[in-house]
A = this chain, B = another copy of it.
Amino acid sequence: MAEPSTHGESLLFLTDENLRKGIEAMFFAYRGFTADPDRILADMDYGRAHHRAVHFINRSPGTTVGNLLTILGVTKQSLNRVLRTLFDDGLVEARVGKQDKRERHLYLTEKGHTLERALSDAQRARMRAAYRAAGPSAVQGFRTVLEAMMDAEQRRQYQGLKEGST
């Protein structure tokens, strides 16, 4: 309904109908986005929470527990439960900080890297297929819209992570 008649200008992409389609696209696409890692994780008694932890430790080796808390946006109790199983299973190791010995710097072990690679290979494969099918300019638009959709706080982290590794 509404379907405003074409009045020269093109704000047609902002109709409620179009926005609703975007919303559902996010919903369904996110399911696809997590489906492959989820399958791998299910076979090993891990969940998405483990995936997220492993991902961000891999991408910022030596990050502290506090950093991880901020990025993941969960409580320390929740994160700690996950980290403990990763320690116990020998996927992640924590080294006491040199400068500040209260901090724990987190690193993937060899075993941890293996899992990380399995998970991100699966996820990247889907991403790559989607990117290839859509083409470079669509990918550009995809990233632009997603970035605009983030909270300012999240965008800061997303962009901050872009360059500074350690």
Q: Are B134 and A137 in contact (CB under 8 A)?
A: no
Instruction: Please report the C-alpha to C-alpha distance between residue A120 and residue B26 in the assembled complex, in whole angstroms.
Output: 14
Q: Are B20 and A120 in contact (CB under 8 A)?
A: yes
In the complex, residue of chain B having the shortest beta-carbon distance to the beta carbon of A13:
B136
Q: Are B140 and A138 in contact (CB under 8 A)?
A: yes
**Residue positions of A touching B, CB distance < 8 A:** 10, 12-14, 16, 18-33, 35, 52, 59, 73, 120, 123-124, 126-151, 154-155, 157-158, 161-162
Number of copies of this chain in the oligomer? Answer: 2
CB within 8 Å for A139 and B20 given contacts A32-B154, A149-B33, A157-B28:
no
CB within 8 Å for A14 and B131 given contacts A24-B161, A29-B146, A161-B24:
yes
Contacts of A13 in B (CB 8 A): 131, 136, 139-140
CB within 8 Å for A28 and B158 given contacts A124-B20, A143-B21, A145-B139:
yes
Q: Are B136 and A10 in contact (CB under 8 A)?
A: yes
In the complex, residue of chain B having the shortest beta-carbon distance to the beta carbon of A31:
B154
